[in-house]
Structure 1
């Protein structure tokens, strides 16, 4: 079944997960899918802060708007408010599974079989690669939902 709400999660919610939120929002809108997206971090480092300036700039170059997004931390309620929670890597997946309520309704999994590399300590080329990876994974999910093959 096509999810109606998806949360993207990375460590600090300033690079990968807000980028995934922006990319998937854009691609889903183009595919005319009615899905609500949000993003959060497992850590509280950047609560209330905008995404990394490099993510904002690379996103803008690709026609994704991250400028209004603000970092927040995952809450217990997220495990009930979202159908799917996509993590960017195995570490965040492990952390979420540890804190998930036993009766959580969200399906928690990685966005892709391969971790989305964290570009935080890299340069702009690492952000380019991150967006490319997120775009490819997002398009695969959208195609799956649109075509009715609902493995997620």
Structure 2
């Protein structure tokens, strides 16, 4: 049996869809995913309907551009990292976004704790790797303390996973002109 990605949750607002990407400091993994997913959404003709944002669970880098190594790998692959400024995840993002994708289990735990321990499981809160067609459910490794090869690995994971996410977005009625 072939792998099928989990279905995307329904939009909260017809004709609109908001995706949030979350990592630890919002300078490596989630900004790479934000840049790639935003470009893929635009290429698919969904930019008028789908918004993408990223944040970190920690506030150390708020207002900073992405890590120079993350920006470098994006530039080397013809992406534009220049607009990114780090933000910190806030509880309001859980209500403002249709899908919140965390880069690793710790990020997911941190976001879940913001939501509250007693909250029921939410289909809108998932691991980014749940949509990875190669390593289903894998965590996106944090390349911060490594070399350039770690950033290349993250980009490869992000590109293939974003393709799966965009494919799911294209199947949501009202986002592509279909009903």
Name the TM-score, length of structure 1 as normaliser: 0.90
5+ residue gaps, structure 2: 1-9, 130-136, 174-179
CA distance in 2, matches of 1:106, 1:50: 31
1:10 aligns with 2:51: no
The equivalent of 2:168 in structure 1 is 144
Contact 1:85–1:106 (Cα < 8 Å) also in 2: no
> Structure 1 residue 143: deviation in Å?
1.5
> Structure 1 residue 64: deviation in Å?
1.5
CA RMSD of aligned residues (A): 2.0
SS in 1 for 2:155: helix
CA distance in 2, matches of 1:27, 1:140: 10
Change (3 A) 1:11 1:118: same
1:89 aligns with 2:113: no
CA distance in 2, matches of 1:15, 1:106: 25
The equivalent of 1:24 in structure 2 is 37
The equivalent of 1:129 in structure 2 is 153
**Consecutive aligned runs of 4 or more in structure 1 exceeding 4 Å deviation:** none
The equivalent of 2:139 in structure 1 is 115
SS in 1 for 2:61: coil
CA distance in 2, matches of 1:63, 1:69: 15
SS in 1 for 2:21: strand
> Structure 1 residue 106: deviation in Å?
8.1
Question: Which of the two has higher C-alpha Rg?
Answer: 2
Contact 1:81–1:106 (Cα < 8 Å) also in 2: no
CA distance in 2, matches of 1:38, 1:17: 9
Name the TM-score, length of structure 2 as normaliser: 0.77
5+ residue gaps, structure 1: none
> Structure 1 residue 144: deviation in Å?
2.3
Q: Deviations over 1:70-120 (max 9, x none)?
A: 1111112111111111100111001101111559x8811111110011100
> Structure 1 residue 145: deviation in Å?
2.5
Decide which moves more: 139-148 or 124-133: 139-148
